[in-house]
């Protein structure tokens, strides 16, 4: 089902893009800058592996980062958005017992992860292209790549030593809903709410001992931005 | 500059270019397979327990409370590390093995800085998943033994090194070189070398080896500890003091006693471990397993232990008899030499109360039944050989003689392959004596590893008794510095008898001794600086 949605979204976006820019709009290109307020609804399985007490889990903290996007108008009611944020550093926190042995665990930041998470969305706008208010909904695909993974001192202590982290990239569906308010021919204000699905497997390597857990994020982001059309 | 790198990194990541990003380091991995090489440096810390945390963990378990009472309130916290290191098998092939390193922690002066090392050899384990580093995992069969050495030694300021023998945990050898003294001494020496390297890169690198080395172990580990002392002395390395406990040191005499009908508890488990070990090492234990074992059990017995199937399942599935080592319909010798046959038939007969007393006869008698493990042909051949080529110590014990250093000699030239191997690995072999103080702890009613092992070694080393060589019989009338431990053991055992009955208590005798002998070892080490 997930693959079908992604294929459909990409296929439609490409088909519309190939048909050329919307002829009525003299400013079919749009760049946006703003803020991403990202909250990670994450669910993870307990960490498993050798020398791992039961009940150890992780959670991901919320972040705010820079939002950048390029939007191309395709027709009177369709546009495609390529959005990405400045790679935020998020912290994985221990979730489970207060201590592991005598080491604090629950709520402690055990790893920092920087990630790039570009999203391609095909969006439908509801009102006239000349309307000041343009509500829209969109569907698309999110690609998430974890580019900087560092264990914290507390994480290394509880893991048992210097630890490397692997988190394979993820491709998943994304949806959005929002509104654009145009106060001039070129300038506009945008607000939207987006949810994507990111699945990965966190694997740590401490002195050759591998531990892992499945992590499923539903990063839901509130975006506030200003845009410029050209 | 860093920002430019990040921007480039982001761009590359957006475009899907691989090779971007950073990851935490994981330490170094050794590329050589030389003996004593530490594989991962720094090693993995698997547990970090404060002194109060360790006390609380122990108090939460019934056996832990009594251990805590005996060992004393922890002075230090304990960090437990899991080491992988390289050693060699009996055929000299490189083997990967693992060990525990326990490092005292905490603010007390005796918990950091230069500290002595205790190297501990573990007891017989039937599960191949045995890992003495997995101290906080109650599902690991080693966790109880781990808790004892953590509470007795590491929590009182001793760095502990405890290898898992080959055949356990990550070892891929496929069998365990059981009571192969020279081989397990190599494993102990190599684990110690790796642990000394690991000490430099722990979370508490200020804690270091102060040069004092104490060696101890219990049961099989008692034997391996003594073998380690022997090997290290031969290599010119100093062992500050040692305390092998309840070990089968006098293997030849011990095995002869068993074949003469004095069947010990656990013999149906020990037998396949020994024959598999010696067959791999020397190739002369048998041509095929059915040379020794009855047709009921011979098939596959050489791959049974150590394994992943619980002993209880092996018993239920008929892979091993629980107690019947020998046929209850005892065989007779038929060499045609009347004196030999007569002597052999007496030793092959069921143990009698007249010979051993009622309780011992009942204990030994449990080792006879049907189906049985060792076939009659082999038992007769072994007993005949033990009469023709006697172990002098066992013969002296049979004749109720007081053992002296002049009558504990090994068999001159045993003909049965297994007896040749037992002689080779018997700790009397090699004309040696400890050069530094040694305490041999045990109990004279031990039904599993008979105290005759300690008595024979004590007789062999009688010129050194009371000086270099010391014996602690937990069951003797309390006296001397260990009187409180002797009293405590006897009180504990009497409590077991009252609670569980004499038979069940006897089954637990050998295990009950463990913490008492280890505390005795610690007290002894404390006197030898």
Please tell me if residue A146 touches chain B, with a CB cutoff of 8 Å. Answer: yes
Query: Do B439 and B297 sit in the same domain of this protein?
Result: no
pTM of the model: 0.91
Are residues B338 and B437 both part of a single domain?
Answer: no
> What is the residue-level pLDDT of chain B in tens, covering all 529 positions?
333 333 333 433 343 333 445 576 678 999 999 999 999 999 999 999 999 999 999 998 878 899 999 999 999 999 999 999 999 999 999 999 999 999 999 999 999 999 999 999 999 999 999 999 999 898 999 999 999 999 999 999 999 999 999 999 999 999 999 999 999 999 999 999 999 999 999 999 999 999 999 999 999 999 999 999 999 999 999 999 999 999 999 999 999 999 999 999 999 999 999 999 999 999 999 999 999 999 999 999 999 999 999 999 999 999 999 999 999 999 999 999 999 999 999 999 999 888 888 888 889 999 999 999 999 999 999 999 999 999 999 999 999 999 999 999 999 999 999 999 999 999 999 989 999 999 999 999 999 999 999 999 999 999 999 999 999 999 999 999 999 999 999 999 999 999 999 989 999 999 999 999 999 999 999 999 8
B272 and B324 inside one domain: yes
Give the end of a domain, one of B385, B405, B425. B425
Taking Cα atoms as reference points, which of B300, B265, B215 lies closest to residue B447? B265
Tokens of A227: 């845009």
**Number of domains within chain B:** 2
Q: Nearest by CB to B10, which of A87, A143, A163?
A: A87
Burial of B406 (C-beta count, 10 Å sphere; 0-12/13-18/19+)? exposed
End-of-domain residue from the set B401, B425, B449: B425
pLDDT of residue A41: 80
- Identify whether B502 is part of a domain: yes
Q: Would residue B79 count as lying in a domain?
A: yes
How far from each other are the two terminal CA atoms of chain A, in whole angstroms?
37
The predicted structure's pLDDT at residue B4: 36
- Give alpha helix (H) positions in B368-482: 376-388, 392-398, 417-425, 452-460
Is there a contact between B2 and B10 (Cβ–Cβ < 8 Å)? no
CB contacts, 8 Å: B49 with chain A:
101-102
**Do the domain assignments include residue B111?**
yes
Q: Does residue B148 sit within a domain?
A: yes
- For each of the domains in chain A, give its residue range(s) and CATH number, in order of start: 2-229 (2.40.160.20)
Q: Cβ–Cβ of B25/A146 closer than 8 Å? A: no
Q: Does A11 touch chain B (CB under 8 A)?
A: no
Q: Is A86 on the interface with B (CB under 8 A)?
A: yes
Is the CB of A208 inside 8 Å of chain B's CB atoms? yes
Residues B184 and B241 in one domain: yes
Mark residue B211 as left, alpha or beta (left: phi above 0; alpha: psi -120 to 50; beta: remaining): left
Q: Do A207 and B10 touch (CB under 8 A)?
A: no
Statement to judge: residues B390 and B446 lie in one domain = no
Which region, left, alpha or beta, applies to residue B290 given φ > 0 means left and ψ of -120 to 50 means alpha?
alpha
* Site from B3, B7, B12, B24 to mutate, A interface, most A CB atoms within 10 angstroms: B24
Whether residue B365 sits in one domain with residue B328: yes
User: What tens digit of pLDDT does each residue of A11-62 get?
Assistant: 544 444 444 444 446 789 999 999 989 888 888 999 999 999 999 999 988 8
How far is the C-alpha of A62 from the C-alpha of A220, rounded, in Å?
10
Contact B344, B381 (CB under 8 A): no
Q: Residues of chain B whose C-beta is under 8 A from some C-beta in A?
A: 6, 9-10, 13-14, 16, 20-27, 29, 39-40, 42-50, 53, 77, 81-82, 84, 133-134, 136-137, 203
> In chain A, which residues have their Cβ closer than 8 Å to the Cβ of B20?
147
Q: Which of B20, B25, B48 sits opposite A162 (nearest CB)?
A: B25
CB contact under 8 A, B42 and A53: no
Whether residues B214 and B97 share a domain: the answer is yes
CA nearest to A216, candidates A200, A227, A202, A205? A200
What pLDDT score does B130 carry?
A: 98
Decide if B325 is inside a domain. Answer: yes
In chain A, residues with a C-beta closer than 8 Å to the C-beta of B46 are 51, 160
Residues B241 and B255 in one domain: no
Which chain B residues are Cβ-neighbours of A151 within 8 angstroms? 24
Instruction: Identify the pLDDT of residue B24.
Output: 63
Give the pLDDT score at B228: 98
Contacts of A110 in chain B (CB under 8 A): none
Residue B37 lies in a domain: yes
Domain containing B344 equals 251-425
User: Which residue in chain A has the smallest CA separation from B50?
Assistant: A102
Establish how many alpha carbons lie within 13 A of residue B316's alpha carbon, considering only the half-sphere containing its beta carbon: 5
Q: Say yes or no: B395 and B271 in one domain.
A: yes
Please give, rounded to a whole number of angstroms, the shortest distance from the CA of A79 to a CA of chain B: 21
What is the model's pLDDT at position A129?
83
Same domain for B452 and B341: no
Closest C-alpha among B63, B371, B441 to residue B221: B441
What whole-number distance in Å separates Cα of residue A224 and Cα of residue B9?
25
In this structure, what CATH number is given to the domain that contains residue B202?
3.40.50.1820
Q: Could you check whether the bond before residue B371 is cis, i.e. omega within 30 degrees of 0? A: yes
Q: Is residue B293 part of a domain?
A: yes
Do B368 and B397 fall within a single domain? Answer: yes
- B6 to A53: CB separation less than 8 angstroms, yes or no: no
Which of B408, B425, B442 is the C-terminal boundary of a domain?
B425
**Cβ separation of B48 and A209 shorter than 8 Å?**
no
The answer to whether residue A48 neighbours chain B at the CB level (below 8 Å) is: no
| CB-based contact B45 A161, cutoff 8 Å | yes
Phi, psi torsion values for B93, nearest 5 degrees:
-75, 140
Same domain for B314 and B455, yes or no, is no
């Amino acid at each position: 089902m997930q693959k079908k949605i992604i294929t459909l979204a990409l296929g439609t976006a490409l088909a519309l893009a190939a048909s050329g820019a919307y002829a009525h709009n003299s400013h079919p290109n749009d760049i946006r800058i703003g803020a991403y307020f990202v909250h990670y609804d994450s669910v993870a399985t307990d960490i498993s592996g050798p020398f791992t007490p039961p009940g150890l889990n992780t959670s991901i903290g919320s972040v705010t980062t820079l939002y950048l996007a390029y939007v191309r108008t395709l027709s009177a009611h369709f546009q495609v958005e390529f959005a990405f944020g400045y790679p935020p550093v998020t912290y994985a926190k221990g979730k489970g017992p207060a201590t592991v042995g005598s080491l604090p665990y629950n709520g402690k930041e055990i790893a920092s992860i920087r990630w790039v998470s570009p999203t391609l969305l095909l969006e439908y706008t509801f009102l006239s292209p000349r309307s000041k208010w343009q509500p829209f909904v969109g569907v698309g695909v999110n690609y998430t790549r974890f580019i900087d993974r560092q264990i914290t001192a507390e994480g290394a202590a509880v893991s048992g030593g210097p630890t490397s982290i692997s988190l394979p990239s993820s491709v998943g569906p994304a949806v959005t809903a929002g509104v654009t308010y145009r106060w001039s021919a070129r300038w506009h204000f945008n607000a939207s709410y987006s949810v994507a699905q990111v699945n990965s497997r966190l694997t740590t390597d401490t002195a050759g001992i591998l531990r892992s857990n499945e992590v499923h994020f539903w990063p839901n982001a509130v975006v506030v931005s200003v845009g410029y059309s050209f | 500059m860093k920002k430019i790198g990040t921007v480039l990194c982001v761009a590359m990541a957006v475009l899907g270019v691989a090779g971007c990003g950073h990851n935490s380091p994981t330490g170094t991995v050794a590329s050589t397979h030389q003996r004593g090489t530490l594989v991962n440096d720094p090693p993995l810390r698997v547990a970090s327990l404060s002194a109060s945390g360790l006390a609380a963990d122990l108090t939460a378990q019934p056996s832990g409370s009594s251990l805590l009472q005996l060992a004393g309130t922890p002075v230090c916290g304990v960090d437990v590390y899991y080491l992988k290191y390289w050693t060699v098998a009996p055929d000299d092939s490189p083997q990967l093995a693992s060990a525990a390193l326990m490092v005292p922690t905490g603010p007390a002066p005796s918990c950091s800085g230069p500290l002595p090392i205790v190297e501990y050899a573990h007891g017989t384990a039937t599960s191949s998943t045995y890992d003495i580093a997995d101290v906080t995992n109650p599902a690991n069969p080693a966790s109880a033994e781990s808790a004892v050495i953590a509470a007795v030694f590491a929590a009182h300021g001793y760095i502990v090194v405890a290898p898992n023998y080959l055949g356990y945990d990550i070892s891929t050898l496929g069998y365990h070189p059981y009571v192969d003294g020279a081989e397990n001494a190599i494993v102990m020496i190599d684990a110690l070398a790796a642990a000394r390297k690991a000490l430099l890169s722990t979370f508490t690198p200020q804690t270091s080896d102060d040069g004092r080395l104490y060696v101890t172990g219990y049961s099989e580990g008692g034997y391996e500890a003594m073998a380690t002392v022997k090997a290290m002395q031969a290599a010119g390395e100093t062992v500050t003091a040692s305390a092998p406990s309840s070990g089968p040191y006098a293997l030849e005499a011990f095995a002869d006693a068993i074949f003469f009908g004095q069947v010990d508890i656990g013999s149906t488990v020990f037998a396949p471990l020994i024959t598999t070990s010696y067959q791999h090492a020397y190739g002369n234990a048998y041509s095929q397993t059915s040379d020794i074992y009855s047709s009921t059990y011979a098939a596959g017995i050489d791959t049974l232990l150590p394994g992943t199937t619980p002993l209880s399942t092996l018993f239920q599935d008929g892979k091993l008899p629980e107690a019947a080592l020998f046929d209850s319909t005892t065989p007779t010798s038929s060499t045609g030499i009347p004196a030999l046959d007569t002597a052999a038939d007496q030793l092959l007969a069921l143990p009698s109360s007249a010979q051993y007393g009622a309780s011992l006869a009942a204990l030994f008698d449990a080792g006879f039944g049907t189906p049985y493990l060792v076939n009659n042909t082999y038992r007769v051949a072994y007993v005949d050989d033990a009469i023709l080529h006697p172990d002098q110590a066992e013969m002296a014990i049979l004749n109720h003689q007081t053992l002296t250093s002049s009558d504990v000699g090994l068999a001159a030239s045993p003909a049965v392959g297994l007896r040749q191997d037992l002689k080779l690995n018997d700790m009397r072999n090699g004309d040696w004596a400890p050069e530094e103080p040694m305490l041999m702890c045990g109990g004279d009613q031990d039904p599993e590893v008979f105290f005759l092992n300690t008595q024979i070694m004590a007789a062999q080393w009688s010129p050194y008794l009371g000086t270099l060589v010391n014996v602690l019989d937990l069951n003797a009338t309390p006296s001397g510095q260990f009187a409180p431990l002797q009293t405590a053991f006897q009180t504990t055992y009497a409590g077991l008898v009252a609670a569980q009955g004499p038979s069940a208590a006897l089954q637990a005798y050998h295990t009950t001794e463990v913490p008492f002998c280890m505390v005795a070892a610690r007290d002894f080490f404390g006197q030898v600086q």
